[in-house]
Amino acid sequence: MSEPSDRPSRPASKPSERPSWLEIAADDPFGVHNLPYGAFDPGDGSRRLGARIGDRVLDLAALERAGLVEARGTLQAATLNPYMALGRPYWKAVRDRLTELLTDQIFRYRVERLLVPLADVTPGLPFEVGDYVDFYSSQEHATNLGRLFRPGSPPLLPNWKHLPIGYHGRAGTVVVSGTDIVRPNGQRKPPDAPAPTFGPSQRLDIEAEVGFVVGAPSSLGTPLTTKDFYEYEFGVVLHNDRSARELQAWEYQPLGPFLGKSFATSVSAWVVPLDALAQARVPAPEQSPPVLPYLADERTGYDIRIEVVWNGTVVSRPPFSGLYWTPAQQLAHLTANGASVRPGDLYASGTVSGAKRAEVGSFIELTWGGAEPVTLADGRTRTFLEDGDTVTLTATAPGLDGTVVGFGEVVGRIQPPRR
Ligand code: CA
């Protein structure tokens, strides 16, 4: 983008117009164009809010106490919820102020001392999860799962192209990246078995998704429109909806996923502000047949590119931009009956799968129900997760002026069942 040469010396800046006084590489995905929010333990067991910049964390609690930023005291909290509840005008003002503090040399002396090396802190869950909804918005994933779970039937059910399918999940078991995942026990019954059995899941899987964090509260009884997405949506996390497939297959009809999903859901430690993703907006795929008017206005997707790494081997690169239903449509749909949202509500996109095998977001698709094992770099083969396995999700999106927006990672190691 060209800039006028006679612009004032202190323009109302876009974030990357001025580089940070911190030495950060231009291709660092956590440059001043990103500034994701998190909550960290500085080493004393407490929890404080921070913004990630490069390989450091800006201590937002200390910044607010020093009078360098004003957010009505909400940056003193242990979670982002009170700050998110302030709404978009505050989110924008604080983000603009953080950009100013990190780019204007005038502030360097006072701000530099409030930066903590990322390596010295332990990131925690950045927000208290309110209600958690998991959608099912990739046509490729829904088609693949339909074929695997209901062979011989039409893979897409008749409602799929008319509404974003979702279910309410278990908010209390959403855990931050780095948390070990204990293999769940549960009940299962193969189709040809005479009776169900109970035991450790042998078909433990991942679902690579993008999670959307609601910031501002809405009023009970008043639906949100697709346009309201930009006022209510605070930011985005990477999301791994862990799934025990044989438990899911036995229990999910007629009321949907239950214990096969509720044992753990992992999210990244850094919430990327929606404002950092303005350059990642892309047209979502055409919808045919046309959707109902309350879902029709907003067709914005996001060019978020996910990478799935299994024990160090990249096994898939799911493209978020191809999802059939957009996050704005999902928000409009989940409030269409008047249900309200609260700060910290989390809704996930659904497994992100592209059209190719190398783009699927789950191992049940990657190995086609376990029939086609994958070989990892260490020569070992896998169908589903084994104890000790580690899966890491990472993602990037285009940022301002050729920069890259990073999402950090979602990582977790599989532990054996405890009973
Ligand atoms: Ca899911």
Interval 161-176: pLDDT, tens: 999 999 999 999 999 9
Confidence of residue 89 (pLDDT cuts 50, 70, 90): very high
Examine the pLDDT at 90 and tell me if it is beyond 70.
yes
- The span from the CA of 390 to the CA of 313, in Å, is 10
- The span from the CA of 349 to the CA of 211, in Å, is 6
- The answer to whether 135 touches 347, Cβ cutoff 8 Å, is yes
114 CA distance to ligand 1 middle (Å): 38
Q: CA distances (Å), 192 to each of 36, 202, 377, in order?
A: 49, 17, 35
Examine the pLDDT at 293 and tell me if it is beyond 70.
yes
Examine the pLDDT at 125 and tell me if it is beyond 80.
yes
Catalytic residue among 33, 141, 239, 333: 141
| pLDDT of amino acid 297 | 76
| Domains annotated on the chain, with CATH | 37-124 (2.30.30.230), 132-415 (3.90.850.10)
- The span from the CA of 128 to the CA of 64, in Å, is 21
Lowest-confidence region among 4-18, 98-112, 158-172, 389-403: 4-18
CB burial string 348-371: b at 16+ within 10 A, e below? bbbbbbbeebebbbbbbbbbbbbe
257 CA distance to ligand 1 middle (Å): 9
| pLDDT of amino acid 19 | 86
| pLDDT of amino acid 286 | 93
| pLDDT of amino acid 1 | 34
- The answer to whether 316 touches 144, Cβ cutoff 8 Å, is no
Between CA 123 and CA 127, with CA 125 as vertex, the angle to 5 degrees is 130
95 CA distance to ligand 1 middle (Å): 31
Q: Strand, helix or coil at 334? A: helix
- The answer to whether 345 touches 299, Cβ cutoff 8 Å, is no
80 CA distance to ligand 1 middle (Å): 24
With a pLDDT cut of 70, the percent of the chain lying above it is: 96
241 CA distance to ligand 1 middle (Å): 5
99 CA distance to ligand 1 middle (Å): 35
261 CA distance to ligand 1 middle (Å): 8
Token code pair at residue 392: 């890491």
134 CA distance to ligand 1 middle (Å): 6
Residue 375 belongs to what H/E stretch?
A: strand 374-375
303 CA distance to ligand 1 middle (Å): 19
- The span from the CA of 275 to the CA of 270, in Å, is 14
Examine the pLDDT at 10 and tell me if it is beyond 90.
no
Amino acid residing at 298? E
- The span from the CA of 338 to the CA of 348, in Å, is 20
Token code pair at residue 260: 């096969």
| pLDDT of amino acid 292 | 97
- The span from the CA of 96 to the CA of 351, in Å, is 33
CB atoms within 10 A of CB 85: 17
pLDDT mean across residues, the chain: 94
353: β partners: none
- The span from the CA of 203 to the CA of 183, in Å, is 10
Examine the pLDDT at 3 and tell me if it is beyond 60.
no
CA atoms within a 13 Å half-sphere pointing along the CA-CB vector of 219? 2
Examine the pLDDT at 298 and tell me if it is beyond 90.
no
Examine the pLDDT at 9 and tell me if it is beyond 70.
no
402 CA distance to ligand 1 middle (Å): 31
Query: Is residue 33 annotated as part of the catalytic site, yes or no?
Result: no
- The span from the CA of 8 to the CA of 16, in Å, is 16
Lowest-confidence region among 7-16, 41-50, 232-241: 7-16
Average pLDDT for residues 121-148, to the nearest whole number? 96
- Strand 56-59 and strand 115-117: the pairing is antiparallel
Confidence of residue 328 (pLDDT cuts 50, 70, 90): very high
- The span from the CA of 286 to the CA of 53, in Å, is 37
Average pLDDT for residues 67-92, to the nearest whole number? 98
CB atoms within 10 A of CB 114: 19
| pLDDT of amino acid 17 | 58
